[in-house]
A = this chain, B = another copy of it.
Amino acid sequence: MPRVVALAGGVGGAKLALGLQLVVAPGDLSVVVNTGDDQEFHGLLVCPDLDTVLYTLAGLADRERGWGLAGETWAAAAQFARLGEPTWFQLGDRDLALHVHRSRRVRAGERLTTVALDVAARLGVASRILPMADEPVRTRVRTPDGWLNFQDWFVRLRHEPAVLEVALDGAEEARLTTEIEGAVVDADAIVICPSNPLVSIGPILAVPGIRGAIGESRRGGTRVAAVSPIVGGRALRGPADRMLASLGEEVSALGVARRYVGLVDVFVMDQADAALAPDVERLGMRAIVTRSVMTDDASRAALARVVLDACLS
């Protein structure tokens, strides 16, 4: 059975990660997750992408709301409001317990990776969920109103202000973890999930050493596939399309593919974008055209199989 490494941000990435988990042997999937959108709330370290992947792979995610836990309750949030705490970033009661737990351990000196692996195991996840780095990396965006922390822009301002520039504070000081290096080098397939290429995959690829490890794996014969989060010129979810536009890049699957030149062997795009396949192949990638919109576990697993087949065939 193939050992697979996936690179993922939040919701879109978590969907394909779940598809991959459904089709590989238990424990053979490692998911490297963006931590650039981590931020402190109520004095606690909150890791939105890490937890979206965690809750999705644990089968605990609220699929209707798109974030957080199914069946979540909000008693603590109401009390935070009464105490005058800002409440625009909503934390459910069970979610809060995780942030308290993780914050305590990280503050006590444990590596974020250690805590993430332990928490995933406790929630019954067989896959390895790996933060992209143990050191804090913080994505900020420059808007017409100035620089903003990522969650201030994404959640508080509902990602409405145009993004003119992206900064990844701390990325140069971050180090590739031994867990990620080992997983990438040992991988039989590496999959870049259909996450925002600028603020989900971008921070992961900005960690020094990750590109080198992927390159080493490719030289050993491992193929890297990326799945486009842009379908028919629009992001399936989130602001990736408007970000590409305001940053002067092409808002299409081809625009995404251009960001991955020299890194990926296979580019997976939706049937809606079939006409772009020749242009993608001219970038030096094999283009795979398939049904890429994931609406249920069956379509998640089907896309995962297409991606893995392209890497392993």
Interface residues of A (CB under 8 A from B): 42-44, 72-73, 75-80, 82-85, 92-94, 96-98, 100-101, 103-104, 107-108, 118-119, 122-123
Q: How far is the CA of A100 from the CA of B107 in the complex (A)?
A: 14
Taking CB as reference atom, which chain B residue is nearest A75? Answer: B93
Inter-chain contact B73/A93, CB cutoff 8 Å: yes
Copies in the complex: 2
Q: How far is the CA of A80 from the CA of B105 in the complex (A)?
A: 13
Q: Interface centre among A92, A97, A104, A108, by most B CB within 10 Å?
A: A97
Q: Known A43-B107, A43-B108; judge A96-B96 contact (CB<8 A).
A: yes
Taking CB as reference atom, which chain B residue is nearest A80? Answer: B97
Inter-chain contact A97/B84, CB cutoff 8 Å: no
Inter-chain contact B104/A83, CB cutoff 8 Å: no
Q: How far is the CA of A76 from the CA of B122 in the complex (A)?
A: 15
A42-B101, A75-B97 given. 8 additional CB < 8 A pairs?
Answer: A44-B100, A72-B75, A73-B93, A76-B93, A77-B97, A78-B94, A83-B101, A93-B93
Inter-chain contact B97/A79, CB cutoff 8 Å: yes
Taking CB as reference atom, which chain B residue is nearest A107? Answer: B43
Complex interface: chain B residues within 8 A of A118 (CB) = 84
Complex interface: chain B residues within 8 A of A42 (CB) = 97, 100-101, 104
